[in-house]
Amino acid sequence: MYNLPGRMAGVYRSGNHDQAKAYFIFRSAPLAYDHRDVEQHKRLVSEAFAGEPTWRVRELLAASLAAPDFYFDALSQVHMDSWSTGRVALVGDAAWCASPASGAGAELALVGAYRLAVALATDPGDHRLAFSRYHDSHRALVRAKQKIGPNIRLMVPRTALGRRIRDTFARLPLLPALAAIERLTRTKGPGPLPQLDRGRPGCEAVRCAGSWCHAGTPRDRLPPVRDGWRRSGRRRSDARRDPPRP
């Protein structure tokens, strides 16, 4: 990771493989651009880091611009007063995106989908009551995971002075103690999740397999499941097969 005033470049590896990825972050006012125009995205990144001779910025930038899987987006969030209207409810990033910098996208999506399914199974005849239950049970976790403003400001200080202050603070012996306090006080996870009644006659409260879920679907109307496959079509070798159904 290498910092410049208002900018950051770095390399990271995700997952258990040898591939490394370069990333670039820069501060800016809200940008107007075509979200489908990859060449425009590359120009924005090139302009933000143009002519920077330090560290490995030039070669990382050149490799990134030539990459077939180049990706560009804003570190933004979605805040909504309600996640439902009528008989339609949102879940995942569409409802509460906490930004990639939160590291909580998968957790929020999975827990949110489960809580929505629980709410629908608990109140199958009243979607308004079910949506209200879903909202009330998940809102606190979303709010906690969206509190990342200080982290972003520390990652990409606006000025050289700000970077020096951050680096000095990071070297203080007080930092481990503050980190321990933060770990003790922050919301670590969703807490205990409600258990579903799977004994309802002719119906499973929630049936999950692969990447789909059904709330209150009669057993004989469940769609077929290709056991062991993800939605993307790649073999799911790192996950156990679904347990036999009772």
Band (222; pLDDT cuts 50, 70, 90): very low
* Model pLDDT for residues 173-198, shown as the tens digit of each residue: 766 776 676 666 665 566 677 776 65
Per cent of the chain over pLDDT 90 is 42
Contact 225, 208 (CB under 8 A): no
Query: For 23-32, 51-60, 65-74, 214-223, which range has the lowest pLDDT when averaged over its residues?
Result: 214-223
Core vs surface per residue 213-228: b (16+ CB within 10 A) or e: ebbbeeeeeeeeeeee
Q: Is 24 or 178 the better-scoring residue by pLDDT?
A: 24
**pLDDT value at residue 190:** 66
The rounded distance, in Å, linking the Cα atoms of 79 and 94 is 10
**pLDDT value at residue 75:** 86
Band (167; pLDDT cuts 50, 70, 90): confident
* Model pLDDT for residues 62-107, shown as the tens digit of each residue: 999 999 999 998 888 999 999 999 999 999 999 999 988 888 899 9
The reported pTM is 0.66
* Model pLDDT for residues 91-147, shown as the tens digit of each residue: 999 999 998 888 889 999 999 999 999 999 988 889 999 999 999 999 999 998 998
**pLDDT value at residue 196:** 67
Contact 110, 92 (CB under 8 A): no
Contact 203, 220 (CB under 8 A): no
Per cent of the chain over pLDDT 70 is 72
Alpha helices in the chain (DSSP H): 38-49, 57-66, 93-96, 105-122, 127-145, 149-155, 160-170, 174-185
**pLDDT value at residue 218:** 40
**Mapping DSSP to helix (H, G, I), strand (E, B) and coil, where does residue 213 land?**
strand
What is the pLDDT averaged over residues 38-46? 95
DSSP string over 111-140: HHHHHHHHHHHHSTT-HHHHHHHHHHHHHH
**pLDDT value at residue 134:** 95
Q: Is 223 or 4 the better-scoring residue by pLDDT?
A: 4
78, amino acid identity: V
* Model pLDDT for residues 234-245, shown as the tens digit of each residue: 333 333 334 444
